Copies of this chain bind each other. A is one copy, B any other.
């Protein structure tokens, strides 16, 4: 097969864009061997033409006019690496509508505008790929869409935010939240304004994308119930340690009786569980399905060159499948309803401060039992003039537990309304065996 040049456009030329250009140049031979094509960046959209840039492109490549990319018929594929929902979203729509394939590293865009983007791509007969939007170089989208086609994935568990995983690892080792955050910022693991990471919003966008691809039903960011790590108390960390668990920010997407449930929560994770073993700023995604039991992918979930590597892998896949229409369509071909609020089930942990008076424990236990919630583990400590109770329930309906905790908060001896955390202790896969 004769080599064919493919002209590439970039929207954005920051850390990721520069790394895409560098890798496309340095690895051109590897790409040609894989695809029969040489990829070359011919235009890159930036706001400021005169800014200093790492890996400066050839003269004439940088442009501040989007039309230079949109209207260039020689450009077949565009990588959107500028971030933000607008103007990136409008640009991507115009490019897809105009018949160009697009590869995006933009989780906010894919999670918020997926439906419109994919239907536009589908109508125009072009591909929109988005591997780099979730966990950078970890190829979880390709694996879900291409390797696990016949496996009925029904659960996705993920540590998909490296910033919070690093913070929690440091806090586990005794650092305060503030010190851990300052450390993360100094190392470049956390932004100056860390809100998007620590609030769980970043993880929620990634889980929305993963759930959409895994369950083939659109999950928008607004459908994800998320909470961050800001409210984690040192007492929770100490209790986790005592229970031989760690606290991790876990994204969980489940298919339950034809309903979809996607949430992000700080969770108590058993130390033996694979997700407890994910180091520092790394990410991991565990996929559970009928034919595969479970497959876990772990690696760096961020980084300029890691993200660029995923962007290029998507371009290579676009080129490799252009003729056949393989998987170019929206993954979401059905509409599954969300699981009603409160219907999600899990084992839960909660912590209770009670006056140290006879009968306090009995009344707490009664409120749980009345709602058919049974206790799996219980720790009680003296705590100044009162007692601290640490409770782990067996699997329970979240709504029932919330009712029980409301009632418990109203008991005369109880000092606060406890906030439950989900507990992840079993892998959820049955006995391994093969013939």
> Which A residues fall within an 8 A CB radius of B?
1, 15, 23-24, 27, 30-31, 33-36, 131, 137-139, 142-143, 145-152, 187-189, 216, 274, 277, 279-282, 290-300, 302-306, 308-310, 312-313, 316-317, 319-327, 329, 333, 432-435
**Pick the contact of A31 from B30, B149, B303, B320 — CB < 8 Å?**
B149
When distances are taken between beta carbons in the complex, the residues of chain B under 8 Å from A282 are 432
A366 to B124 CA separation, bound complex (whole angstroms): 74
A138 to B297, CA, bound (A): 10
**What is the bound-complex CA distance between A323 and B319, given in angstroms?**
11
When all copies of this chain in the complex are counted, the total is 2
* 24 A-B pairs (CB sep. < 8 Å): A23-B291, A30-B150, A31-B149, A33-B216, A33-B329, A34-B145, A36-B325, A137-B147, A137-B148, A137-B293, A138-B295, A139-B147, A139-B148, A148-B309, A148-B313, A189-B432, A274-B279, A280-B432, A291-B305, A293-B303, A293-B306, A320-B321, A320-B327, A323-B323
Write out the residue numbers on chain B whose beta carbons fall within 8 Å of the beta carbon of A433: 187-189, 303
A320 and chain B: residue at smallest CB distance: B326
- Choose among B142, B303, B325 the residue that contacts A147 (Cβ–Cβ < 8 A): B142
* Contact indicator B300/A297 (Cβ below 8 Å): no
Contact at B296–A298, with CB atoms within 8 Å? yes
A322 touching B320, Cβ below 8 Å: no
Q: Are A292 and B313 in contact (CB under 8 A)?
A: no
